[in-house]
Amino acid sequence: MKWTRISAVICVAAFCLAFAAQALATKYVALGDSYSSGTGTRTFYEPSCQRSVYTYPYLLHEAHPGWTFVDAACAGATTSSLLSSQVSSVTAETNWVTYTIGGNDAGFSHVITECALPSWLSNCNGAINEAQTFIKNTLPGRLDEVNNAIKSRAPEAEVIVLDYPRLFNGENCNAFTFFTASEEARLNETADLLKSVISAAAARAGSHFVFRDVIPAFIGHAVCDGGSGSSTEWINGLSNPTSESYHPKVAGHANGYYPAVHGVTG
């Protein structure tokens, strides 16, 4: 009888310990657009959203295999679609959240496509002007909506907010694109503008939100650095398929984005 009671106590204690461990498990949720899902890495474990094992979220998952990992990032995401189909993955048990968002809201893919055309077919400066106006006037409110939704669902979660690299180095090395040096400079300025707006929104969101700038890491590793397709180039230029174009390569995630995130989470 005594042994039965002792066994029961041990079993109950073991159950409590297991329950406590489960309750204390760290949960990490990756949100965002193609810069978080993995477009540009050319290998996808979930093709519809172009999620890849080579992205910074997946690398963070591999660095912490004991964490619960939810990859909700999806190519083409906007602030609206993040709110409608991704943020539900964030729960009260979430400890870490990462995201990139805003580039699609500003129509950056359209801008790049427009600027890649020959000058007599292109309205590059007009497209850049329109995007910059949107980024200054409309995007801040949309980013606040995203941050407020995350806070409401997981008030204690630590949120790492990331920006977008400058894509160009002033050179056009692809025979099928027609970027001028001045257009590339303006496109890089637009990345800088996105940085300032995204970082300001993160600051408004409060102490649980931290902004990390990836622009410095990509200096010297833009499109055409080292020649098209080189190992020095961490961002795809015009690619086949075209959806891979102007997105971080495997090296861009490993050497540009991942260190910025891992520097916060450890």
Active-site residues, by number, are 34, 247
C-alpha span between 199 and 122 (Å, rounded) = 31
Task: Write a three-state SS string for 185-225.
Answer: HHHHHHHHHHHHHHHHHHHHHCCCEEEECCHHHHCCCCECC
Tokens 């657009």 identify what position? 33
Task: Write a three-state SS string for 107-172.
Answer: CHHHHHHHHHCCCCCCCHHHHHHHHHHHHHHCHHHHHHHHHHHHHHHCCCCEEEEECCCCCECCCC
Q: Are 128 and 192 in contact (CB under 8 A)?
A: no
Specify the 3-state DSSP secondary structure of 59: helix
Beta carbons within 8 Å of 167's beta carbon, 6+ residues apart? 112, 184, 187, 188, 191, 222, 223, 235, 246
Nearest to 160 by CA among 203, 97, 215: 97
